[in-house]
């Protein structure tokens, strides 16, 4: 693993923050506006915010591309929220409503919803169509971002 600083985009003010790779995002704050950089709950993005993240941010983040009419999307949503709660010190969790942001969804070449897309180190590292839930969803995210079990939360498997 490289120990380079990550560049983390602040969604509140647009500043790009350098955060050491070893530092948990849960305690990191924006140097310009002091907003927290972690997202303990999934954050709904606009197409413009997503474009800025993809262009500038070199941290780990995952995007749920969904649509209001999509049953599997609604089924996955609470699982995605709980994965965000468990993993937010390492990965930021975002959502994109593909109905409200059709240009952005088209740009991502989404073939269906839901689709989960991961970025790390400034490049796309995963693109997975289909709903995932529960432990399988968290395991997929851990695998995509090479996360090890570094927290104290106990869980049954
Ligand atoms: Zn800020």
pLDDT tens digits for the chain (157 residues)?
A: 445 789 999 999 999 999 998 889 989 999 999 999 998 999 999 999 999 999 999 999 999 999 999 999 999 999 999 999 999 999 999 999 999 999 999 999 998 999 999 999 999 999 999 999 999 999 999 999 999 865 544 444 3
CATH of domain 39-144: 3.40.30.10
Q: Which of 10, 13, 33, 73 is catalytic?
A: 73
Question: Which candidate, 49, 27, 51, 53, places its Cα nearest to that of 40?
Answer: 27
Q: Cα(130) to centroid of ligand 1, in Å?
A: 33
d(CA 62, CA 33): 24
Domains of the chain by residue range: 39-144
Q: What are the two backbone dihedrals, phi and then psi, of residue 147, each rounded to the nearest 5 degrees?
A: -85, 135
Taking the centre of ligand 1 as the mean of its atom positions, its distance from the CA of residue 66, in whole angstroms, is 27
pTM, entire model: 0.91
């Amino acid at each position: 693993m490289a120990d380079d600083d990550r560049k983390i985009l602040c969604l509140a003010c647009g500043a790009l923050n350098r955060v050491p790779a070893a530092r948990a995002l849960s305690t990191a704050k924006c140097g310009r506006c002091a907003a927290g950089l972690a997202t303990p709950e999934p954050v709904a993005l606009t197409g413009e915010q997503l474009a800025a993240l993809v262009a500038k941010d070199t941290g780990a983040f995952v995007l749920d591309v969904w649509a209001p009419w999509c049953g599997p999307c609604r089924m996955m949503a609470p699982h995605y929220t709980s994965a965000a709660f468990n993993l937010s010190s390492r990965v930021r969790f975002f959502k994109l409503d593909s109905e409200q942001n059709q240009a952005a969804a088209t740009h991502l070449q989404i073939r269906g919803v839901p689709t989960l897309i991961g970025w790390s180190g400034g490049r796309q590292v995963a693109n997975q169509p289909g709903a995932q839930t529960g432990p399988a969803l968290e395991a997929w995210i851990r695998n995509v971002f090479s996360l090890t079990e570094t927290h104290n939360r106990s869980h049954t498997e």
